[in-house]
Amino acid sequence: MHLSSLLPLTVLSILLWSLEGALGDPQILLLNKGCSQYNATDLSTFNQNLNATLNDLRVQVTNQSKYFATAQEARGQDPVYAMFQCRNYLSTTDCAACFSAAAAQIRNCSAGANGARVIYDGCFLRYESAGFFDQTTLAGNSMICGNQTAVVASDFNTSAQQVLKDLQIATPKISGFFAATKTQVSGAAIYAIAQCAETVSESGCLDCLTVGYNNIEVCLPNTEGRAFDAGCFMRYSETAFFADNQTIDITPFLQQGSSSKKGAIIGGVVGGVALIVIILALIALLRWYKKPKKVRRGDILGATDLKGPVSYRYKDLKAATKNFSDENKLGEGGFGDVYKGTLKNGKIVAVKKLFFGASGKIDDQFESEVKLISNVHHRNLVRLLGCCSKGQERILVYEYMANKSLDRFLFGEVKDSLNWKQRYDIILGTAKGLAYLHEDFHVCIIHRDIKTSNILLDDEMQPRIADFGLARLLPEDQSHLSTRFAGTLGYTAPEYAIHGQLSEKADAYSFGVVLLEIVSGQKNSELRTDANDGEFLLKRAWKLYEEDRHLELVDKKLDGKEYDVEEVKKVIEIALLCIQASAGARPTMSEVVASLKGKNSLGQIRPSMPLLVLITLIWWSSDNIHAYGAVENIQTNLLSKGCSAYNASNLRSFFANINETFAGLRAQISSDKNKHFAIEDKARGEVITYAMFQCRNYLSKTECLSCFDTATSQILNCSAANGARIIYDSCFLRYESERFYDETNEPGGGVSCGNMSSTVTGFKVAAQPVLMELQQATPKIKGFYAATKTPVVGGSAIYAVSQCVETAMKTSCLNCLQVAHDNLQRCLPNTDGTAYDAGCFMRYSTIPLFADNQTIDIAPFLKQGGSTKKWGIIGGVVVGAALLLLLLFAWIWFRKSKGVQRGDILGATELKGPVNYKYNDLKAATKKFSAENKLGEGGFGAVYKGTLKNGKVVAVKKLVLGKSSKMMDDFEGEVKLISNVHHRNLVRLLGCCSKGQERILVYEYMANSSLDRFLFGNRKGFLSWKQRYNIILGTAKGLAYLHEEFHVSIIHRDIKTANILLNDDLQPKIADFGLARLLPEDCSHLSTKFAGTLGYTAPEYAMHGQLSEKADTYSFGIVVLEIISGQKSTDVKGDEESSEYLLQRSWKLYERGCHLELLEEGIDPDEYDGEEVKRIIEIGLLCTQATAAARPTMSEVVVLLKSRNSVEHLRPTMPVFVGTNVMTREGNSTSSSNANASISIVSAR
């Protein structure tokens, strides 16, 4: 906006303005504001550091009259580095006023944002969590142009260009990096300034102003323009914004070589400062390294440390993967490439580098995968170690799987190496992982892309489900989602592929297909030709099963002695049930797990013939897609290939469109020997396909068509992706579902450098001006194409070519080539380099790319601007890309601040990790922890009901520090553990708070309080049999997850009815993890001091301190008997003569066959089945066996609970009576309860 339009000015005020400049005006027109999307880890320390740095800056600006100031505060793990600079023409008062405005504005960023910047006309303010004082250019650089054109546009344009170019050259040589000039032109004046941060180097200042000049030049011939970047600012205007006497004569600084001494001095100072910063950083790093040794969190929970995802630095991942080299590449797919990386500490990781699809939705996929995989934790799901987001790069870091993916063992280089047991374990593990996602996580997650390449194998050949980029959440009140198709054809359920109806049963279908592939060793898309008529896997599997020849489906490489025939038949039946045509006919994944672990099939259900999905027939029919055969007379070096993460909605229409658009493109190229560019689009109903092809102008028609045919054959491997691109040295091909013809810059761009360095002295010096001239000339040449040959003294010639798509605008072509030019600088002095982007291509080589008579004289297109000799000025990030990225960050921030966030990506329900609450907020929420809000109290603290500002009701557990430091360990242990475990039957930690000696945990609120209230308290007798059964089953599932499904075994140590909370639907949630311990994989048990609650404690643990997960099983058995009987384990039943504790009573009744007498009175006999009650009592008694080995695992308990059969083959023996069961009742039977009370639970009492 033009400054004169902001304020109503009279003639007098204009006169005063021209005389007095900017006096009395802090110039706080907001140009740019940005907030980091990452928050500090410790908000309290971070805010202290931020306040300290801002106060330091304020003192420097107001008391010391500085125009430039830096400050830093590095307490704790969240240091703050801050910088402020105002324009040198402002008065000290105005400078201070601008600082105040900036400081107020920057605090509007979300609380805890670990970085932010504010840029005004008069000043800028920035803070970060890492040092940035020497930064010059960032992707966020941009420009703002006025909206009025100069009266004499040509004169103004020429003069302004020269003024800005002079400022660009002179400012880095002036002390303080500031220059201001006034230049008369055609009855008007041009006021212009340039300024760099004082902490950058002279070359850094020049680099930054070069980018600034390129950006601001776009504004001409408008009368006003501004350009800003991380390390510099540039502005010109026809309106005076400083006084005439504040100009600086820059003429002496326009002569080359005048600043060598000054540069040396500045370099020395900067070097000294850098050395100090490095020393400080090393000290901080040393302190950080030592800190964990004091805390010793491993001693709280066990030897294995629990860690959440961390944010990796881009340069560390780049180094770990050898610059993302092909040597380190593990695989590639439509969404990105995966590389093997070795971190500085020697740890090997898998680095997944995403690239942007044409639809620009990669950030959604990135956020989706990070958010989701950070929340789900299961032994059969791949673990996310961290992520990285830098500029347009999006990277995920996973645990490394040396055995890679399952498809490699079924169809790849190690085909036929899996035995039957390994295959069976992979099937079972995959089913467990899906059952967790669908039923055991607190909200249902649909993976949407289950296939063999997304199942990784660890060192022990155990499966890990990977790639959650397409995952969606299914709200509890919905049976399915209606959504656009995404996934992989051949694995897709018919109701989803055809009608877009997505439910968890779509994953069950995909699992069924994978199961058949594992059994047979045949791809689902592979046509089996050993029969008279070719058959796909699904059809073949059904046919063999129907004819009772199921063993013929088994992979011929398997030894028949390895497997049990009935087990194979059961697995094939399960697979066929999973691929039933109707989603309702498919089993749930928990039913699949139970069947796989049991000796029975899925009840009496017999599969019917599956629907041979239309999509599979469409895709794999060779008549539907025409891939032109590639001619081999031209070498096509593949530079980049990308497939959209989203698939077409109507596949038949989509494939027809693809055929016609590709045919249309080929026809255009064939029709004219000089035709090297073509676009084509087709529409069928709502399905539209846009396509573009371009080859280099030096190719012949035959060579161009050859490259086109190669590109089409390759791009069709993207399956039904609704967008794809492929780029070769000689051509590129792209199609999308949305119009893209005017796009030029996109994150899919890149650079490819040759591996030979030139031996010719001066090669780099010769190549740089060639590339700069191509960048400047090509946008001015008709057809946007240029090719040159330049001799090199003492060596061969440099062949160079640049090209833009013909549908781009001239300015867009220039912007695209600027980025390409900057990228190619990395290749020099190598003898070959190629840069490519959505709308342009640039290459140089010492190898002849074209004939000498195919060069173009570009000299006539270089006259304007006089920049042919200024090739050394490094171009910055172009305006288009900068604005795109700026808008991207703004949109992410907007979504975050408005709460829209990632719910749109995954579904309506949002996933959140634990947060740090403010003490004052929790104090207010609980009415100062009032007795009125108290829900319960224990030996280690009290639990309060709290209502947060947003109306959410929570349970606030306030721990009280004892005389020892054990409470600190308990607090850290509970936070560390429950932040990592996520299961529908485990209580969810919402956040925590630590202030002084106060330690507070915030949990989801359970209005129904704890189970003991319904068994022994004021709600006794309320629970029906079905509700009791569901509580038993849910508790067993939660424990099975802790013991066997989390990536390390967790022992709760305090399972009891008071620690089982009930939600609104009376579903159980295991609570209170303060005593939990981790059991290392190589240990059968831990020898440790007793902790827990007597009456629920296993004998080997209470008497000998031998702790294993079977101690929890014992406690669970006691809880089962309490739930059935409504009797406390420590209560005595009967008179003085025949009194019995619960365990004794249960065994006697069971042994006599009178098990129904154990049921609590008041339960309606019509509600339960007698055999089911007997089975559950048997399970309770099995869990309380005297020896740990005789007790079942909790996953076995889950299977037994879901089974309809008795457990007589595991008939229990008489349990040992320990703890309170052997105490006398002469006055001391109740004392043990208080003396050995465990940590208080979080419940609504």
Which tens digit of pLDDT belongs to each residue from 831-850?
A: 999 999 889 999 999 989 99
Q: What count of residues does the chain have?
A: 1245
Of 1062, 1051, 1160, which is closest to residue 1115 (Cα–Cα)?
A: 1051
State the virtual CA torsion across 656, 661, 663, 667 in degrees, nearest 10.
160
Please check whether residue 1142 is in contact with residue 1149, taking contact to mean a CB–CB distance below 8 angstroms: no
38-47, 180-189, 732-741: least confident range: 38-47
Mean pLDDT of 350-356: 77
pLDDT band at 301 (very low <50, low <70, confident <90, very high): very low
Q: Which residues pair with 1062 in a beta bridge?
A: 1068
pLDDT band at 699 (very low <50, low <70, confident <90, very high): very high
pLDDT at 109: 83
Per residue in 187-234, pLDDT tens?
789 999 999 999 998 988 998 999 999 889 989 989 999 999 989 999
Contacts of 1038 (CB under 8 A, 6+ apart): 983, 984, 985, 986, 1068, 1069, 1070
> Is the link from the previous residue into 1165 a cis peptide, with omega within 30 of 0?
no
Q: Is the pLDDT of residue 303 over 80?
A: no
Tokens 């001015």 correspond to what residue? 780
Q: Identify the structural domains of the chain with CATH numbers, from first to last.
A: 19-128 (3.30.430.20), 142-261 (3.30.430.20), 310-399 (3.30.200.20), 406-618 (1.10.510.10), 622-736 (3.30.430.20), 750-864 (3.30.430.20), 915-1004 (3.30.200.20), 1011-1235 (1.10.510.10)
**449 classed as catalytic:** yes
How far is residue 987's CA from residue 1038's CA, in Å, rounded to a whole number? 10
pLDDT band at 874 (very low <50, low <70, confident <90, very high): very low
Please check whether residue 571 is in contact with residue 424, taking contact to mean a CB–CB distance below 8 angstroms: yes
The alpha carbon dihedral of 291, 295, 301, 307 has a sign of: negative
pLDDT at 1103: 82
pLDDT at 36: 83
| Residue 1166, number of CB atoms within 10 A of its CB | 6
Q: Is the pLDDT of residue 465 over 90?
A: yes
Per residue in 569-597, pLDDT tens?
999 999 999 998 888 889 999 899 988 98
State the amino acid at position 978 in one-letter form.
I
Q: Which residues pair with 236 in a beta bridge?
A: 192, 225
Please check whether residue 263 is in contact with residue 202, taking contact to mean a CB–CB distance below 8 angstroms: yes
Per residue in 419-442, pLDDT tens?
999 999 999 999 999 999 998 887
How far is residue 1232's CA from residue 655's CA, in Å, rounded to a whole number? 75
Q: Is 353 annotated as a binding residue?
A: yes
40-49, 260-269, 516-525, 1107-1116: least confident range: 260-269
Please check whether residue 173 is in contact with residue 262, taking contact to mean a CB–CB distance below 8 angstroms: yes
Q: Is the pLDDT of residue 903 over 50?
A: no
- More confident: 1047 or 1245: 1047
What is the biggest distance separating any 2 CA atoms in the chain, rounded to whole angstroms? Answer: 118
List C-alpha distances in Å: 71 to 49, 79, 178.
Answer: 10, 11, 21
What is the pTM for the complete model shown? 0.51
Tokens 């004392």 correspond to what residue? 1231
Q: Is the pLDDT of residue 485 over 70?
A: no
Q: Is the pLDDT of residue 881 over 60?
A: no
Please check whether residue 57 is in contact with residue 88, taking contact to mean a CB–CB distance below 8 angstroms: no
- More confident: 1024 or 357: 1024
Catalytic residue (choose from 78, 449, 822, 1072): 449
Of 404, 382, 384, 360, which is closest to residue 312 (Cα–Cα)?
A: 384
887 by DSSP, 3-state: which? helix
Query: Which pair of structure tokens corresponds to residue 431?
Result: 């089913």
Q: How wide is the angle at C-alpha 1018 spanned by C-alphas 1015 and 1021, nearest 5°? A: 45
Per residue in 536-549, pLDDT tens?
788 888 889 888 89
Please check whether residue 699 is in contact with residue 634, taking contact to mean a CB–CB distance below 8 angstroms: yes
pLDDT at 890: 53
Name the phi and psi angles at 29, rounded to 5.
-75, 120
pLDDT at 275: 67
Please check whether residue 180 is in contact with residue 193, taking contact to mean a CB–CB distance below 8 angstroms: yes
- What single DSSP character describes residue 1184? T
Per residue in 15-29, pLDDT tens?
333 333 334 788 999
Contacts of 922 (CB under 8 A, 6+ apart): 946, 956, 993, 1000, 1002
- What single DSSP character describes residue 439? I
Contacts of 1003 (CB under 8 A, 6+ apart): 954, 955, 956, 957, 987, 988, 989, 990, 1071, 1242
List C-alpha distances in Å: 789 to 590, 766, 768.
Answer: 68, 11, 13
Per residue in 92-102, pLDDT tens?
999 999 999 99
| Chain mean pLDDT for the chain | 79
Q: Is the pLDDT of residue 1076 over 50?
A: yes
Of 467, 548, 544, 472, which is closest to residue 504 (Cα–Cα)?
A: 472
Q: DSSP strand E in 571-712: where? A: 638-643, 677-684, 687-695
pLDDT band at 477 (very low <50, low <70, confident <90, very high): low
Query: Which pair of structure tokens corresponds to residue 450?
Result: 């289950």
pLDDT at 626: 33
pLDDT cut 90: percent of the chain above it: 31
How far is residue 1055's CA from residue 1096's CA, in Å, rounded to a whole number? 7
Name the phi and psi angles at 874, rounded to 5.
-80, 125
Per residue in 602-646, pLDDT tens?
555 678 777 553 333 333 333 333 333 333 335 568 888 888 877
Please check whether residue 553 is in contact with residue 519, taking contact to mean a CB–CB distance below 8 angstroms: yes
Name the phi and psi angles at 1158, rounded to 5.
-75, -20
pLDDT band at 14 (very low <50, low <70, confident <90, very high): very low
Cβ-count burial of 1219 within 10 angstroms (0-12 exposed, 13-18 middle, 19+ buried)?
A: buried
Q: How wide is the angle at C-alpha 895 spanned by C-alphas 890 and 898, nearest 5°? A: 120
The number of CA neighbours under 13 Å toward the Cβ of 591 is 15
How far is residue 1155's CA from residue 1152's CA, in Å, rounded to a whole number? 8
128-132, 949-953, 1136-1140, 1209-1213: least confident range: 1136-1140
- More confident: 1133 or 104: 104
pLDDT at 342: 94
The number of CA neighbours under 13 Å toward the Cβ of 1109 is 23
Mean pLDDT of 404-422: 89
Please check whether residue 1039 is in contact with residue 1070, taking contact to mean a CB–CB distance below 8 angstroms: yes
How far is residue 37's CA from residue 994's CA, in Å, rounded to a whole number? 24
How far is residue 662's CA from residue 628's CA, in Å, rounded to a whole number? 9
Please check whether residue 1125 is in contact with residue 1148, taking contact to mean a CB–CB distance below 8 angstroms: no
Per residue in 998-1038, pLDDT tens?
788 888 898 888 899 899 888 888 899 999 999 999 999 99
Please check whether residue 1110 is in contact with residue 1098, taking contact to mean a CB–CB distance below 8 angstroms: yes
pLDDT band at 307 (very low <50, low <70, confident <90, very high): low
Per residue in 752-765, pLDDT tens?
888 888 877 778 88
Please check whether residue 557 is in contact with residue 417, taking contact to mean a CB–CB distance below 8 angstroms: no
